[in-house]
Amino acid sequence: MKQTVKEFYNEVPFPGPYSIEQLLAYGHPIENRYLRIIESQIDNNQSVLDAGCGTGLITNLMALRHPQSKFMGVDFSNSVDYAKQFKKQHNINNVEFNRQDLTQLNLAETFDVVVCQGVLHHIPDYMTVITKLRELTRPGGTIILGLYHPAGKILKKVFKINYNSHTLYQDQELHPFELSFTFDKIKSMLPDFELKKAYPSMLQNFWLPALFNFKNGGLVTYVLRKNYV
């Protein structure tokens, strides 16, 4: 199944191509709430890992907006070639891209912020990846996880969705493998982390955000802080 997922992303690079003009046009603060919650966790002089970076939109965008921080993007598909080419073409010197399988991730450093947005729910052996990401997060550091929620996946099957992007349609409707996670499941996977915030806000009800966000498969982005030993 892992090879099938890799072939899917070789055929459907995600989130797709973008231009420098598009990256520079993001507002202050960023209008996209998912990107905003990621940027809110990045300060100057930090190291940031984007695990499953795809074509590198998040990595290159954040590197442009935070030139004093150091970024690394990792992906196992051909999508990472676009990210590398974009970085080189536009002289984004504080970011590095590596082609690696997240289940075999081998990096020599740890990070202040680890981003894994919309990735784990497409990996059959997600617990191996979670273990590696936990190890790569410094004590007091942050993991940002974007994951589908079961309620959103149920509603997506009930309601017809008009996607604005063909790439998003393919990713939502044609993907060969996907999972979904409740917040209780996330807490059990990350026992040494504390939840700081989430978008959509959970409002003390871990099913509500997915109900209002079914067009994205109930995607919820969680910010979790690693406890000091």
Read off the CATH number of the domain in which 104 is found.
3.40.50.150
Residue 202 pLDDT more than 60?
no
Q: What is the pLDDT of residue 139?
A: 96
Q: What is the pLDDT of residue 16?
A: 94
Question: Contact, 149 vs 207, CB < 8 A?
Answer: yes
Q: What is the pLDDT of residue 203?
A: 46
Where residue 199 falls among pLDDT bands split at 50, 70, 90? confident
Residue 220 pLDDT more than 50?
yes
Distance CA 158, CA 60 (A): 36
Tell me the mean pLDDT in the region 116-131.
96
Q: What is the pLDDT of residues 27-62, one digit of tens each?
A: 989 988 899 999 999 999 999 999 999 999 999 999
Q: What is the pLDDT of residue 48?
A: 98
**Residue whose pair of structure tokens reads 């026992």 in the numeric block:** 191
Where residue 83 falls among pLDDT bands split at 50, 70, 90? very high
Residue 153 pLDDT more than 80?
no
Which one, of 29, 58, 185, 50, lies nearest residue 112 by Cα? 50
Distance CA 118, CA 217 (A): 10
The domain in which residue 186 lies consists of: 2-226
Residue 214 pLDDT more than 60?
no
Tell me the mean pLDDT in the region 114-133.
97
**Residue whose pair of structure tokens reads 């550091």 in the numeric block:** 141
Higher pLDDT, 45 or 206: 45
- Rounded to the nearest integer, the mean pLDDT of the chain is 90
Tell me the mean pLDDT in the region 221-226.
96
Q: What separation, in Å, do the N-terminal and C-terminal C-alpha atoms of the chain show?
A: 37
Structural domain count of the chain: 1
Where residue 217 falls among pLDDT bands split at 50, 70, 90? low
| Predicted TM-score of the model (pTM) | 0.93
